[in-house]
Amino acid sequence: MQNLIFFGVLVAVGLAILVGFAMMVAKFYKKVEQGRALIINKVTKDPIVTFTGGLVLPIVHRAETMDISVKTVEIDRERGPDL
């Protein structure tokens, strides 16, 4: 009987840890919309660049977003009397 109680407590603690970890991942996962990139600066030398999303831990990582959408530039090439 005592082994059954110990096993039940062990399963309950394991389940609580698993649920807590899943909640942490859901809370710290950052998504980016289309046309943007997420740059995650970790403790390593090179940052990680992703176009969908990534796990950003608040104190350890720093996240920045960069706009990578296509932009249109219109150039007026008329020659005036000054040129």
What value does the mean pLDDT take over residues 30-55? 92
Which token pair is 35?
């046309």
- Closest by CA position to 37, among listed 78, 5, 8, 66: 66
The band of 44, judged by pLDDT with boundaries at 50, 70 and 90, is confident
More confident residue, 15 or 73: 15
Q: Is the pTM of this model over 0.75?
A: no
What share of the chain in percent tops pLDDT 90? 63
- Closest by CA position to 28, among listed 51, 67, 62, 3: 62
